[in-house]
Amino acid sequence: MIEVQNITKRYGRTTAVDDVSFRVERGEILGFLGPNGAGKTTTMRILTGYMPPTEGRATVAGYDVFTHPIEAKQRTGYLPETPPLYPDMTVREYLDFVARIKGVPSRERRDRVTSAMQRTHVADMASRHCSKLSKGYRQRVGLAQAIIHNPEVLILDEPTAGLDPKQIIETRELIRGLAGDHTIVLSTHILPEVAQTCQRVVIINRGRVVAIDTPEGLTSRLQGAATLYVQVDAPGVDATETLQGLPGVSRVALSDQRDGVRGYEVESARETDIRREIARAVVSRGWGLLELRPMRMSLEEIFLQVTTEETPEEAVSEQRP
């Protein structure tokens, strides 16, 4: 349904998106996870035809977004980070206008507007001006706008940002409800969100894809091994065997060596902390223990940057002025 091939976007000298590729199958919900400024919005803007990539190509529903923009856009619904509402229109007027520019035939327009309002639960606000809507309603009207022409593909940029917990739950349910008929790409910087709504996750950081997997797959990867870095001053002696012999150690590898000082990577099961045992073993043999620290995988680093818990404060600070 969606195919992204080696997309790169540069602004002057900075590279916002660097060689990103992924696929989304029909009816799937794909989560785009990454810290703020990772390149999520840029990738989505390229997918929706808002801006062209510097390199690479993207197809939506079989149409290249750059060479056949009209066809691709007809099949795409897009909710940008801030819902693109016109403050002086009422919700109904606004949705009617969007239906018009998305090419909904005039005799179907009324029904489409009504059904989009019902699906997103904004019908009670139909004659209210967009400027008078609360944040939660603005987001939902934004969602109504995205589905109004019944597109095959939905692209949602941080659909739950700035909502209160109750609204977040409602919005997620709404998105899951849309999944059957639509192929959905949504971005978020909140870890539990992808686990709850998405079937597959693309983790992106500094413009690069770090991992593509199912939420379960990612979790098990994270719960895998922990690695320690140990530097030992023991001239002429290889400490590999000693370290290997310690309980809980699954693998030891020599990583660097200089003037009799050797560095080792020691892998162990995640739950067991074997630093004390290592220190004792090294010291008891009369060697110098110069360094002992945990090594992080890049995936884990990203996970530490993305929010692992949802807090109301976080939701508030995310609101753009």
Assigned token pair, 124: 């009670």
User: Is-contact 260 235, C-beta < 8 A?
Assistant: yes
CA R_g for the chain: 25
Q: In whole angstroms, what is the distance from residue 165 CA to residue 304 CA?
A: 22
**Smallest distance, Å, CB 51 to another protein?**
5
Report the interhelical angle of 135-147 vs 106-119 (nearest 10°).
140
Using the rule CB under 8 A, is 78 a contact of another protein? yes
Nearer to another protein, 159 or 215 (CB): 159
Nearer to another protein, 9 or 262 (CB): 9
Using the rule CB under 8 A, is 127 a contact of another protein? no
Among 43, 59, 76, 242, binds another protein (CB under 8 A): 76
Burial group, residue 166, by CB count within 10 angstroms (0-12, 13-18, 19+) = exposed
Nearer to another protein, 31 or 151 (CB): 151
DSSP 289-314: EEEEEEE--HHHHHHHHSBSS--HHH
Using the rule CB under 8 A, is 11 a contact of another protein? yes
Burial group, residue 138, by CB count within 10 angstroms (0-12, 13-18, 19+) = buried
What percentage of the chain's residues is helix, strand, coil (to nearest 5)? 35, 30, 30
Using the rule CB under 8 A, is 112 a contact of another protein? no
Nearer to another protein, 93 or 233 (CB): 93
**Smallest distance, Å, CB 305 to another protein?**
24
**Smallest distance, Å, CB 6 to another protein?**
19
Binding span for another protein by CB under 8 A among 101-109, 170-178, 214-222, 250-258: 101-109
Among 100, 110, 270, 280, binds another protein (CB under 8 A): 100
Nearer to another protein, 45 or 92 (CB): 45
Using the rule CB under 8 A, is 43 a contact of another protein? no
**Residue of 154, 153, 198, 157 lying closest to 42 (CA atoms):** 157
- Count how many residues are written for the chain: 321
Nearer to another protein, 131 or 311 (CB): 131
**Residues near another protein (CB under 8 A):** 9, 11, 16, 42, 45, 48-52, 69-71, 73-74, 76, 78, 80-82, 84-89, 93, 97-98, 100-103, 145
